Amino acid sequence: MADLLVVLALTLVVAAATAAVLTRDPARQALVLALLGLALAVLFTALQSPDVALSQLAVGSALTPLMLLLTVRKVRGRGHRGGRKRGRA
Amino acid sequence: MNGWLLAAAVVLALGVAPALWGATTGPLRRRVVAQNVAALLVCLVMLLLAQGYARPSYIDLGLVLAVLGPAGTLVYARLLAAELAADPPTARVTRAMTVLSAAAPPLVVLPLCVATGPGRSLVKLLLIGALLTAGNTISGRAVSGTTSLPREAHDG
């Protein structure tokens, strides 16, 4: 009974990770990755390691999606417009 | 296992799991809204876990997520603005999101406040509740009504 939370969080992590692998479009994948990060944070908290969960949250909930989406946007923009935005990050 | 942990497990099973399903299937508008809901619910789960494990320091996780969750949703609303503007969430979904972001945080934070009693952690809890409500209202509005966000004309 006490392990219910760990089992639940693990199930969520497995489901989210599988879904992230099976999603093909990078923009949609970023959304699933954010959810995977949240599930991992819950798992780490249930396993009594809040410091790991804290760094996971800090990186996973905003930074990873931001970098992924910026990359996708830059690559697509370059494909469509021939590198018009080359000077920008 | 006490009642707080049980509540956290219930929120995980009945809230975050459907949100995960919503984020992996369907059109983009549904995925963004589901991600927003998941961040809100996981933040509440963190608060419940902190109380359930009787570790007040775990509340910091909720505080970080209350700040970063809506920020993450704003990232999507900003960088996927073209796709979202072409296919915005329906009015029903937007209303449900507003109700959820206004009703869910007090529903969890107020019992926690009663259990905590007066003190520094009470102020922290109230701050997290206010941040959650405000942040999710803003991000929900940003996802649905793209009018509240300045959009680039050359997007897309």
Residue B44 domain-assigned (yes or no): yes
Name the domain count of chain B. Answer: 1
Contacts of B63 (CB under 8 A, 6+ apart): B124, B127, B128, B131
Total CB pairs under 8 A between chain A and B: 112
Tokens of A88: 């920008």
Q: What ipTM describes this predicted complex?
A: 0.86
Q: How far apart are CA B154 and CA B81, in angstroms?
A: 11
Residue B152 domain-assigned (yes or no): no
Report which secondary-structure segment, H or E, holds B127: helix B120-144
With CA atoms as reference, the chain B residue closest to A10 would be: B12
Q: Say if residue B155's pLDDT is above 60.
A: no
Could you say which of A4, A30, A57 has the minimum Cβ distance to residue B1? Answer: A4
Structural domain of B8? 3-144
The model's pTM is 0.87
Q: What is the pLDDT of residues B74-132, one digit of tens each?
A: 988 888 888 888 888 888 888 888 888 888 888 888 888 888 888 888 999 999 999 99
Q: What is the pLDDT of residues A33-87, one digit of tens each?
A: 999 999 999 999 999 999 999 999 989 888 888 899 999 888 887 776 654 545 4
CA atoms within 13 A on the CB side of B82: 10
Residue B127 domain-assigned (yes or no): yes
Question: At B21, is the pLDDT very low, low, confident or very high (cuts 50, 70, 90)?
Answer: very high
| Chain B nearest C-alpha distance from A45 (Å) | 8
CA torsion angle B110 B47 B141 B93 (round to 10): -90
Residues from chain A contacting residue B17 (CB–CB below 8 Å): 12, 15
CB atoms within 10 A of CB A51: 11
Give residue B3's identity as a one-letter amino acid code: G
Cβ atoms of A41 and A33 within 8 Å: the answer is: no
CB atoms within 10 A of CB B27: 11
Tokens of A83: 């590198």
Say if the Cβ atoms of B46 and A42 lie within 8 Å.
yes
